[in-house]
Chain A
Amino acid sequence: MTASDTSAPQPASKWPRWFTRERRRMAWRFLIALVVLVFFLFPVYWLFITSIKSAGDIFARPPVWFPEQPSFRIFGVLFKDGDVWAIYNSLIIASVSTVAAMILGTAAAYSLARFKTGGQNLAIWIISQRMIPPIVIVFPIFLLFVWFGWIDSYVGLILLYIAFNLPYVIWMMRGYIEDIPVEVEESALTDGCSRWQALRKIVFPMARTGIFATAVFTFIFAWNEFVFALILTRTEVLTFPVLVTHYYGAQSTFWSKIAALSVLGTLPVFFAVATLQRFLVRGITMGAVKG
């Protein structure tokens, strides 16, 4: 029941009676939500629609909002020509580097948080590594990789992405681990856990939200990374962002290929986030300690 629902006579309003204050407020909210939604989803829609348009429709004026004869032909071409291999490459590189960075980074973060390894400054120094613009170090790394024979290889990009993501993982996980009351861990130790068991049974489950959130962002970084991948690959392990740029030509640009590959390249990230988001619930540490 709201005040406007009462049958008492009300001053004349410009709104019809059924359109109560409560409903008007709801209507406004829906309207704002709709505008925001359109703003963010329109590029995605346009990307998808471009991928199924005919070449003529892509530049048509007025724009074609939905093609009369949608065609998924170009997706077939990407599969037939083997261009989708770039997505496979990206998947391997992003997944392996994410898992490795998470394992190493979480271990380091635990040490920083619990044993105060390196004091306060080590953590700051580590995160400062992430602030270096990639372009500054990409050429020295290129020379190094040539020497190691890592150019155009999985191992090269994977190692690089691990190194590049580690500061972020360490920084984030350190915060999440510090949020876990140390007494809970100590309680596990006196209850009969070794350090490792306490980590596995107590710390990791309690830090689960943080672990998944950090992993998602690490994965997305590796998935989207362009500068290193462009310089350090040639033909064998092209990643998806690099291959997209190959369709920009001096003479012609294959817009439908760009759109189609981009659609395919969005899907893994979309599914990764969609599956993991149920783990991203907050408040898991509630009830551990007083307060």
Chain B
Amino acid sequence: MAGVRLRGVHKRFGKVHAVRGVDIEIPDRAFTVLVGPSGCGKSTLLRMIAGLEEVTEGTVEIDGEMVNDVRPKDRDVAMVFQNYALYPHMSVFENVAFGLRMRNAPSAEIRPRVERAAAMLGIADLLDRQPRQLSGGQRQRVAMGRALVRDAKLYLFDEPLSNLDAQLRDEMRTEIKRLHQEMQRTMIYVTHDQVEAMTLADRIVLLREGEIEQEGPPLELYEQPQTRFVAGFIGSPAMNFTPARIEAVDGALAVQAGEHAFALPPARAERHAGDGGRDVLLGIRPEHMYRAEGEAPRPDCARLLTTVEIVEPMGANTLVNFHLGETSMLVRLDGSAAEQPGDALPLDVDMSRAILVDPESERVI
């Protein structure tokens, strides 16, 4: 068990500057997710922690010890690879036992430990099979078992679920979370899927083009994104953005988007007192707009009259598409909505949860 600390880590592949000065502190026993779009350097970062990739600049510490020049075998990390990377010439049992054998575990210990790991992952009856006889989901479980059977300081996961179909992915995600709760080990998990990041992480590190965009607990990234990128990346469906301007209307501050004025709640208006006339991007999550009821808008909300364009029923809720000026927007309504394309749809937009972004710096103001 150990914490991990990265300080000023850079990675260059020839001319490509893949990781650009990353500082991360990963506490002992935490579940940290490195997330970001492809090419953001998250996998490279994980591979540097594992020792599979050299660090161009900066330091990697595991358990307070600098490991830049320590070989992977001596770092005592266990890793699950995206494409499983099973040993095709060994049985499932030998695949799982391999790490124990290589670390000279007493042979009397190996069988019970392999069997316990196999039971945890529901692959106990596959131990005699060869990898080629397994389905994708089973191979994935073997790959997990191979890591979890070890008593490693650190468990690394490199997009372990991205090759599975949607249903299996949901199952395994829950499984991984349960394993972390049971094992109480430090785990670092790489994914490009923000849903995986949100559901699994104690702490999310969101990367973009080799740099940390924002880090913190999942809900902090969701509630208080610091940049437009974070706001757009976290949350599904993604946040709506529309160009707007902060203006004083009838003595109160409002956000003017096209012909619509969204009054700011008093607390926010205070913060933006000096921003009158400023161009901004207004960001509203689809789930922060509600079907309007009654004459007056809900507290802190602004009323918006829209016309339904596309309806996507999802069972528990319904996605409805409409236009706000030039911008196509999405709203998530509760239940199976009766709305039809062309219907008028009055919405209450929750302005206490909307964000305002500076279009130049793309930072939330």
Q: Tell me if A197 is interfacial: C-beta within 8 Å of chain B.
A: yes
Chain B residues within 8 Å of A187, by CB: 79, 81, 85-87, 146
Query: When the two chains form their complex, are residues A287 and B83 in contact, meaning their CB atoms are under 8 A apart?
Result: no
In the complex, A291→B85 CA distance in Å? 11
Question: Beyond A189-B73, A192-B102, A197-B102, is A290–B83 a contact (Cβ under 8 Å)?
Answer: yes
Is residue B262 within 8 Å, beta carbon to beta carbon, of the partner chain?
Answer: no
Task: Give CA–CA (A245, B82) in the complex, Å.
Answer: 60
| Interface presence of B234 (CB below 8 A) | no
B131 at the interface (CB under 8 A from A): yes
Chain B 338-363, CB within 8 Å of chain A: the 1/0 string? 00000000000000000000000000
- Contacts A189-B52, A197-B102: A287 and B85 contacting too (C-beta < 8 A)? no
Chain B residue numbers with a CB within 8 Å of A287 are: 86, 88, 130-134, 139
> How many angstroms from the CA of A36 to the CA of B86 in the assembled complex?
43
Q: Indicate whether A68 reaches chain B with its CB closer than 8 angstroms.
A: no
Whether B86 contacts A184 by the Cβ 8 Å rule is: yes
Q: Is the interface of A mostly helix, strand, loop or mixed?
A: loop
Q: Which of B98-157 contact A (CB under 8 A)?
A: 98-99, 102-103, 130-134, 136, 139, 146, 150, 156
Q: Are B81 and A194 in contact (CB under 8 A)?
A: no
Name the distance in Å between B283's Cβ and chain A's nearest Cβ. 37
* Cβ–Cβ < 8 Å partners of B4 in chain A: none
Q: Which of A197, A206, A289 contacts B89 (CB 8 A)?
A: A206
B71 within 8 A of A: yes
Write the nearest CB–CB distance from A289 to chain B, whole angstroms. 4
Contacts of A184 in B (CB 8 A): 85-88
Task: Give the Cβ gap from B350 to chain A, nearest Cβ, in Å.
Answer: 42
Which A residues are CB-close (under 8 A) to B150? Answer: 191
The answer on a CB contact under 8 Å between B86 and A288 is yes
A-B contact pairs, 27 of them (CB 8 A): A183-B82, A184-B85, A184-B87, A186-B50, A186-B79, A186-B81, A189-B51, A189-B52, A189-B71, A189-B72, A190-B52, A190-B72, A190-B77, A191-B98, A191-B102, A191-B146, A192-B73, A192-B102, A197-B102, A202-B87, A284-B89, A285-B88, A287-B132, A287-B134, A288-B87, A289-B84, A290-B136
Chain B residues within CB distance 8 Å of chain A: 50-52, 71-73, 75, 77-79, 81-89, 98-99, 102-103, 130-134, 136, 139, 146, 150, 156, 163
- Given contacts A191-B102, A286-B132, 12 further A-B pairs with CB under 8 A are A183-B82, A184-B86, A187-B79, A189-B51, A189-B72, A190-B79, A192-B73, A192-B99, A192-B102, A193-B102, A197-B102, A287-B134
Nearest 4 CB-CB pairings of A with B = A287-B132, A192-B102, A287-B131, A183-B85
